[in-house]
A and B are shown apart, each in its own frame.
Chain A
Amino acid sequence: IMCASAKYNTRGPALIPRMKTKHRIYYITLFSIVLLGLIATGMFQFWPHSIESSSDWTVEKRSVHDVPVVKLPADSPIPERGDLSCRMHTCFDVYRCGFNPKNKIKVYIYSLKKYVDEYGTSVSNTISREYNELLTAISDSEFYTDDVNRACLFVPSIDVLNQNALRIKETAQALAQLSRWDRGTNHLLFNMLPGGPPDYNTALDVPRDRALLAGGGFSTWTYRQGYDVSIPVYSPLSGEVDLPERGPGPRRFFILSSQMALHPEYRLELEALQAENGESVLILDKCTNLSDGVPAVRKRCYKNQVFDYPQVLQESTFCIVLRGARLGQAVLSDVLQAGCVPVIIADSYILPFSEVLDWKRASVVIPEEKIPEMYSILQSIPQRQIEEMQRQARWFWEAYFRSMKAIALATLQIINDRIYPYAAISYEEWNDPPAVKWSSVSNPLFLPLIPPQSQGFTAVVLTYDRVESLFRVITEVSKVPSLSKLLVVWNNQNKNPPEDSLWPKIRVPLKVVRTAENKLSNRFFPYDEIETEAVLAIDDDIIMLTSDELQFGYEVWREFPDRLVGYPGRLHLWDHEMNKWKYESEWTNEVSMVLTGAAFYHKYFNYLYTYKMPGDIKNWVDAHMNCEDIAMNFLVANVTGKSVIKVTPRKKFKCPECTAIDGLSLDQTHMVERSECINKFASVFGTMPLKVVEHRADPVLYKDDFPEKLKSFPNIGSL
């Protein structure tokens, strides 16, 4: 099995030898003739089929009333009642879903039929607007297949959203005669209003055997965890009323109840709350004296005051969602849309999509018995958290409640995640609103680990042709106790590296890697030869760092393995005159970058640099032969949200040839170019990830009055 993800190597473009022009024309003509022929064949062969199928499907000009009629004999079979013990591993046929590289289940929708009983009376309304929207959404989604043989999940077109509109027995019979019914295995039913008087069951009463139920009002007793999906009760008002998102800030009311059909006992309790806490609590009821023509559902009243619904929900911090005869209430959707924090009072209710949504971040759940304490409970919630809950509530509505499409796709995704758990959508993707996704970081090296010292580090020296200087660097670096390997990246294709015998003899393995092209990004390639976590990137002219300084740098890296730990520090500044970022290499009190001419970092960042660098930065750097270090600083800061660590005092990075770091940095055009890099990268990243700090790391006893020979790192800062 091939998986694209497991491949690390970038493949170069394959070269196509150019054919002679004459031949090319010839072949092109030939090819077009064959192509024309094939098209003709297609027309001839498939035309009749297409006509056949289009009679069923593709002609758009059809009404739901023109669908085939199916008569259900009175004695046609009825499925078993729903099996409460069903779980994915007992009632679901996973073999239908198969292993596929996309990790997507295939969903089939039965074609629409009109079902009538023996006497020709219809069993139900053909299809509701919402169910039609839901099926359209599935049909337009990646999950859809029109091939019943390839389907993993089957969705009947029999509309059972509202049980009140159904004839239960006949609907069950209609389900049982579906072509792939097979006891309901892998069938998915959507229901929002279950149960009916007098007992109002919390799940659809239609016998459905093994079918999965996406239900809007489950209680803990009817919900089969990990099998059913709990969905919202859709509020058609969502489509009619536009409530723009309201910013944070105080609202007129603290608690609001807007439901019209509260049980008198609840109403009494709420009114007691209102009496106790005065005007911050508003308990609305239906309006009794509305003039004709005003839709009663869009108005609420308190005494003689009339309020617009659902707009009034935006006036309150918390909005009560009490259970009615059913557990699931459409008002929840309105409340979320208004960015009001729902206070859910419905014991045993399974909240919508609770398998993936973290409702504690968007709502307050209060046990029915604690209604009298509600006010003090809500008062104890910190203001900052309320603002976040409001944002979160609105996000849940936008992502999972606002349309039948959103509801349908979330349901399918949940089932998909169960079948392909190793490709499941993460908690953060389900729950974090875009603003949080944008501003937060998820550090790939999040576990606080201090890597063992014994592992050591690998020094990677990028070199072109300065052999003498390179050899000096090798000799110096090899003195560092924790060095475990030295890797020379030979970036010169025109010249061979010196013979083996000429290289300095050092105590650790020395490997030379030859590159195919002279690119700066070669320095950051995750070579297999790097076997340690820690990488020391070092230029071939950095000979001024002492062994103590390098060893200390490694020790600091061990304490901060997810950061860049380097020697020369740099700063980015906002240039108010030019209105853009500026690169600064002067002696400043702050740092935000370290140069990778001498820096320790985790090998993982090599992997990120090579394969996950955003935009075209990597190619841009290779083309300009500059700023690879700034790119690395951006990358690491962006993914970890943390600053760099500059180690040890500033020194003059003098060098024999004087083209490296400081020598170059002083060059004015060079500075301009570096500033441009910062601006370019900031625009590609869409933000300025670099963090400015005022500290650097020194050994504990640095410059302290203490015998030098007792210090672990005495030789620090010498010039």
Chain B
Amino acid sequence: MQTRKKYIFLTFLASWLLLFLFGGDQLRRFSFFSGRKAEARRNWPRWTDRSLLKSFADAEELQRDGDPSLLSPRERRAAWLSVYRGSRCRMETCFDFSRCEKHGFKVFTYPQERGQPVSETYGKILSSIERSRYHTAKPEEACLFILSIDTLDRDHLSGQYVRDVDEKIRSFPLWNGGRNHLIFNLYSGTWPDYAGDLGFDIGQAILAKASFDTESFRPGFDISIPLFSKEHPQRGGDRGWLSQDSVPPRKKYLLVFKGKRYLTGIGSGTRNALHHIHNGKDIISLTTCKHGKDWEKHKDTRCDRDNIDYERFDYQELLHNSTFCIVPRGRRLGSFRFLEALQAACIPVLLSDGWELPFAEAIDWGKAAVVGSERLLLQIPSAVRCIHPERVLAFQQQTQFLWDAYFSSVDKIVHTTLEIIKDRLSPHRSRSRFLWNALPGGLLVLPDFSTHLGDFPFYYLQHGYSPSKKFTAFIRVVSQGGSLSQPILRLIQAVSGSQYCAQIVVLWSCEKPPPPSGKWPQTTVPLTIIQGRRQLSDRFFPFEAIQTDAVLSLDEDTSLSTSEVDFAFLVWRSFPERIVGFPTQSHFWDPEQGRWGYTSRWTNELSIVLTAAAFYHRYYHSLFTEYLPAGLRELVDGLAACEDILMNVLVAAVTKLPPIKVTQRKQHKDVVAQQAEVKGTAGSRRFSQRQDCLNQLADWFGYMPLVSSQLRLDPVLFKDQVSVLRKKYPSLEK
């Protein structure tokens, strides 16, 4: 025992001596000494005379930043016009704002010329614009012009390449050097360097192009769009693939890539290196040499083995089962892979240096993708491994939101492009970056309605606001009597009895003028009468008179009690983005007829809340009137009873959520049921019209936005065996 201790002691002594003799320089780097080192860290000195130092500019110089000898601002702006053109275009020098002042943001598409067929994709782009609410057929009204010449594919080796574009556009009287024109392009340049050359002079036109490189991109002027295939749907579009939010992500693979490896030429650098990160376990990076006709000429030693590995995995399978997807540059900077990964909720890991990301002016890609550097490929595995699981979950959800909001159809891509340009025209009435990157997305938020986040139904929680504590009752009167019927008087009494009612607005849509104010019942809240234009869609017009966030939409023959209204309003305050109401209906897919069916019978589900008695946010009036194209509103006005279905479809398309049904007294429903029976043939005509309406709307939206719900919200003690005295809403149980 003793000897062992001695040995230990000796060893310590020896090592100390060794340290003493040889330690010196090497030891200085030891973190062991970090305590000392921090002390000696050579920081920027604290100068003794630092308080005597002069300022970088004296106050006078800073405040008198003027020079009278300069050009006057007007002259300077005029001079800019001639200097900053072509590749240095900006909105203020190459865009004529005055064209947009009188008629607002209107877009004109050149008429199609005979013998000038356009590609399927360009056809879709044109029809998106024609379907949009900004389209105009009159060039003199237009603010923005779109050519009828197909400029999507400017690879002169391609079959779609249109020749002599220069000559053609010069012959257009409206061309005007390209001012206020928007040109779409997906492919530019060709083998071998795939430069951004379009093969014609775009002059002062705005370029909306895929695979834009930051160098030729004119910031604040051009728009980078994503590359999409010709199968990309016109409207609607497939949903994202994310069906569950799991933490940690339960996916088989961490990071995948499967694609071509270019043996030579531009883009080969990155693609040639991708195989280095393949580990065969959770990182799958597969390349094949097979592409083009003469790949075997350039083939290297890896090719055969790589090609075999490549065949062993299925691209779709990888896409579905991986958390991250590498999206490297191809010959061009952007690739189809980008949108494919986005849809698949496979977080894109971008390896495409110098790519101006799609819609980067609006979209914050840092929330949905990992923007890597081609030079640091080998760091990618460790970098993505270190991303927190919560962040991965947020990334995944953001990919789905962005896909659905801006990319899933040609309509969305084109409309996003237009909205970005529109936002530039009046910066004070434009969407903040927050709006573009939060649900439900920029397209569904109208800055003309308001630029204040608290005025929309979507941002209460994110910004700590709450919806207003009162509502506006909005009653539509269509009956031809011209006098006030009993039901409407009762309704006004019941509604004005609610402690949450701020005002009552009556939309008088009859031929006869409304009764004089003396005939209306005396109410404690202000009552306003608006003369309507006798159109069905009128009831969703954003009337100035509606001042509260919540609108209680009512028909004149609706029967409600005060406590029903009170309870429903409190429920709405918990779900301000949804429609909350009483009578409901539901839709279903009818496989026999191959169309959507509709039922107003009692069912276990609901997807439509009738606007005869429903609460919703007043913003939906603006969305209904301003966002939906005029054609759709005309369709609704043409059918007898479709406007409330459209409202439900619209809100469901925005929120992706079902409406909410609240308790109603039984007697009310009996009345409705009786009425339905009485109507007989008229009722069945109405029924089939509503069914038609539903199908036309589904067709217009490109999918069926309605979502079903299986629940109803009742007061907490509803029909519980408790004393009635304990209950806040006893009358609802009658």
Contacts and interface: CB of A to CB of B under 8 A. Distances in A.
B92 to A, nearest CB: 5
B711 A556 contact: yes
A489 B492 CA distance: 58
B382 A99 contact: yes
B715 A650 contact: no
A661 interface: no
A520 to B, nearest CB: 22
Interface stretch (B202-210, B315-323, B370-378, B534-542): B370-378
B250 interface: yes
Interface string A512-540: 00000000000000100001010000000
Given A3-B385, A37-B20, A698-B711, A348 B367 contact: no
23 contacts: A37-B20, A63-B47, A99-B383, A129-B50, A129-B56, A136-B44, A146-B43, A200-B67, A221-B84, A236-B55, A265-B73, A324-B67, A368-B73, A424-B366, A438-B464, A449-B243, A552-B710, A588-B717, A695-B570, A695-B716, A700-B605, A704-B666, A710-B604
A646 interface: yes
A105 B383 CA distance: 15
A421 B49 CA distance: 40
Contact of B49 (A63, A361, A701): A63
B582 interface: no
Given A6-B385, A30-B8, A261-B64, A360 B439 contact: no
Q: Which 3 A-B pairs have the closest CB atoms?
A: A439-B464, A261-B66, A139-B44
A623 B357 CA distance: 52
Interface string B75-90: 0010000001000101
A421 B250 contact: no
Contact of B57 (A46, A85, A162, A698): A162
A465 interface: no
A445 B366 contact: no
A696 B718 contact: yes
A70 interface: no
A93 B139 CA distance: 51
B66 A263 contact: yes
Interface centre among A139, A421, A650 (most CB of B within 10 A): A421
A530 B11 CA distance: 54
B60 A297 contact: yes
B73 A266 contact: yes
Contacts of A587: 717, 720, 722, 726
A442 B43 CA distance: 40
A427 B382 contact: no
B734 interface: no
Interface string A484-501: 000000000000000000
A452 interface: yes
B63 A700 contact: no
B56 A165 contact: yes
B605 to A, nearest CB: 7
B589 interface: no
Contacts of A681: none
Nearest to A445: B245
Interface string A602-615: 11100100000000
Nearest to A135: B44
A45 B27 contact: yes
Nearest to B47: A64
A649 B714 CA distance: 10
A452 B219 contact: no
Given A33-B12, A94-B373, A706-B602, 12 more contacts: A42-B33, A64-B53, A225-B219, A234-B56, A324-B67, A330-B65, A331-B63, A360-B430, A365-B427, A381-B451, A442-B462, A700-B604
B245 A447 contact: yes
B648 interface: no
A45 B655 CA distance: 71
A446 B439 contact: yes
A358 B66 CA distance: 28
Interface in B395-419: 397, 400-401
Nearest to B451: A385
A694 B567 contact: yes
A305 interface: no
A56 B42 CA distance: 9
B12 A449 contact: no
Contacts of A76: none
Contact of B604 (A128, A260, A262, A699): A699
A135 B53 CA distance: 14
A367 B430 CA distance: 14
Contacts of A85: 215
B111 interface: no
Given A139-B44, A643-B574, A455 B244 contact: yes
Contacts of A348: 90, 92
B214 interface: yes
A463 interface: no
Contacts of B73: 263, 265-266, 368
A130 B602 CA distance: 75
Given A57-B45, A130-B56, A326-B65, A447 B397 contact: yes
A360 B433 contact: yes
A361 B463 CA distance: 13
Contacts of A699: 604, 710-712
B24 A45 contact: yes
Interface residues of A, number: 180
Interface in A544-580: 552, 555-556, 559, 561, 569
Nearest to A265: B72
Interface string A685-706: 0000001011111111111111
B247 A603 contact: yes
Interface string A255-288: 0000111111110000000000000000000000
Given A89-B374, A325-B70, A643-B574, A295 B383 contact: no
Interface in A132-182: 132, 135-136, 138-140, 144, 146, 159, 161-162, 164-165
B716 A591 contact: yes
B394 A444 contact: yes
Interface stretch (B162-170, B656-664, B678-686): B656-664
B245 A602 contact: yes
B638 interface: no
Interface in B2-47: 5, 8-9, 12, 15-16, 19-20, 23-24, 27-28, 33, 36, 40-47
Contacts of A361: 432, 434
A32 to B, nearest CB: 11
B61 interface: yes
B248 interface: yes
Given A139-B44, A197-B67, A693 B720 contact: no
Contact of A603 (B220, B246, B367): B246
A502 B686 CA distance: 62
B61 A164 contact: yes
A263 B72 contact: yes
B386 A101 contact: yes
A441 interface: yes
B428 interface: yes
Contact of B66 (A125, A262, A533): A262
A89 B354 contact: yes
A590 B66 contact: no
Nearest to B437: A427
Contacts of A326: 65
B65 A649 contact: no
Contact of B384 (A139, A223, A422, A642): A422
Contacts of A6: 385-386, 388-389
A262 B462 CA distance: 41
Given A45-B23, A45-B27, A368-B73, A226 B397 contact: no
A8 interface: yes
A233 interface: yes
Contact of B59 (A34, A38, A295, A604): A295
Contact of A193 (B19, B41, B57, B373): B57
A21 interface: no
